[in-house]
Structure 1
Amino acid sequence: MTIRDIVLIALFAAIIVAFGLVPVIPVAGLPVPITLQNLAVMLAGAILGPRRGAAATALVMLLVAIGLPVLSGGRGGLGMLLGPSGGFLFGFIAGAFVIGWLAARFARVRGPAWKENGLSILACIAGGIGVCYAMGIPWLALATGLPLEKAALGALVFLPGDLAKAVVAGLVARGVRRVYPIPLK
């Protein structure tokens, strides 16, 4: 790991924390709020690549675990990782890795701008939504005692916003990589 890698990991961990300054939007009936931090997680994976994107997100989760209030709404502590949001938070790490892995594969594809933009957005959807939901929804059901079907139905409220975030992250990441090419590691 180079100094540049460490700086990029720390920078994106700070960006994820900064996105946490945006207040949470509570969801009626669910203990998991809507936040903007998953947009920053998508950006980390799509811009840095699998290892560095996951490392930046893992660094934030380490800060959460030691009790720093770095999550949206000034939340932090081990209870956040073990509570209803825990699956989504751990899903951030896996999601950033998958986004980065797909982004690295898709970056080799050349074609019209709409195709490259679409692949970048697809990477963010697969990792930022698919992986995070796959980890977060069962954890939410387990932590709250809800049946899995009800937890999955409740999580649908997040989908429109998360799709919009994936589009923004995919377009921004592609633009950043075009202007400032960072090897996807």
Structure 2
Amino acid sequence: MSTSHPARSSAVLGRIAVFSALIVVLGTVIVPLPGGVPITAQTLGVMLAGLVLGPRVAPLAVLLVLALAAIGLPVLAGGRGGLGVFVGPSAGYLLGWVAGVVVIGLLMRTGRFTWWRAATASLLGGVLVVYAVGIPVQALVTGVPLDLTALSSLAFLPGDLIKVAAATLVVVALKRAYPRAFPAHRTPPEPVAA
């Protein structure tokens, strides 16, 4: 019986734990805003998880953070935790993280690794998908019309664009320094010489 499978499973569990911890630690960097949804660096951790771990493993790291929050641990921005966060104004953004990392991971696995692919994946999955889930839920919870909630969410955009740039820089540097950290990317087959 080969020991590579248990070793691989341990490595995957270790990556899930590391990225969950990273997301939690980045939650300590917060800028409070009116409306109950603070600007945090946690979405930077979510973007990095999607970029590095891929569409199958990254959601597990995010779900671990959400599970810890659900049992009451203060793992979300501002030391929040408990089931109440899943019915508050930020609930949709938290659920959007799960969809967002899947999109980021899928976009990163569709071709060769490039900085622009990392930036595009972070923008589409880490910002647009998270907003697409978060804004409607925030509007529903707060009772503010959807268009006004979307307009107020523009306050988050500059910070999120900075996080996209930071995630891109970090992942490009990591790819150069330690390419084994990334699952194999699908690349177009090389043409066969005649």
Task: State TM-score, norm by structure 1.
Answer: 0.91
Runs of 4+ in structure 1 off by over 4 angstroms are none
Q: Distance in 2 between matches of 1:152 and 1:47?
A: 30
Structure of larger gyration radius: 2
CA contact (8 A) 1:117 1:170 kept: yes
Equivalent in the alignment of 2:69: 64
2:24 to 7, 17, 23: 17
How do 1:1-185 residues align onto structure 2 when only pairs under 5 Å count?
Answer: 2-22=9-29, 24-28=30-34, 30-106=35-111, 108=112, 116-181=114-179, 182-183=182-183
Distance in structure 2 (CA, Å) of the matches to 1:177 and 1:78: 37
**Gapped regions of structure 1 (runs ≥ 5):** 110-115
Contact 1:47-1:176 at 8 Å conserved across structures: no
* Partner Cα distance (1:52, 1:132) in 2: 18
1:177: how far off? Answer: 2.1
Task: Say which SS state the counterpart of residue 67 (structure 2) adopts.
Answer: helix
Whether the aligned pair in 2 keeps the contact of 1:99 and 1:128 (CA below 8 Å) is yes
C-alpha distance in 2, partners of 1:40/1:62? Answer: 16
3-state DSSP class of the match of 2:81? coil
Counterpart CA distance in 1 for 2:98 and 2:184 is 16
- Measured after TM superposition, the shift of residue 53 of structure 1 is 1.1
CA distance in 2, matches of 1:95, 1:162: 13
Describe the shift of the 1:75–1:184 C-alpha distance in structure 2 as closer, same or farther (beyond 3 A): farther
* Paired residues, number: 176
Listed one character per residue, the Cα deviations across residues 148-178 of structure 1 (whole Å, up to 9, x for unaligned) are 0000001000001101101110221122123
1:73-111 CA-to-partner distances (Å, cap 9, x unmatched) read 1111111111110000011111111111111124x26xx
**Offset, 1:184:** 5.5
CA distance in 1: counterparts of 2:91 and 2:184, whole angstroms: 27
- What is the SS of the residue equivalent to 2:63? helix
TM-score by length of 2: 0.87
Gaps of 5+ in 2: 1-7, 186-194
Aligned CA-pair RMSD:
1.4
Residues 54, 93 of structure 1: 8 Å contact kept: yes
Q: Distance in 2 between matches of 1:170 and 1:54?
A: 19
> What is the match of residue 3 of structure 2?
none
Identity of matched residues, %: 49
SS of structure 2 residue aligned to 1:40: helix
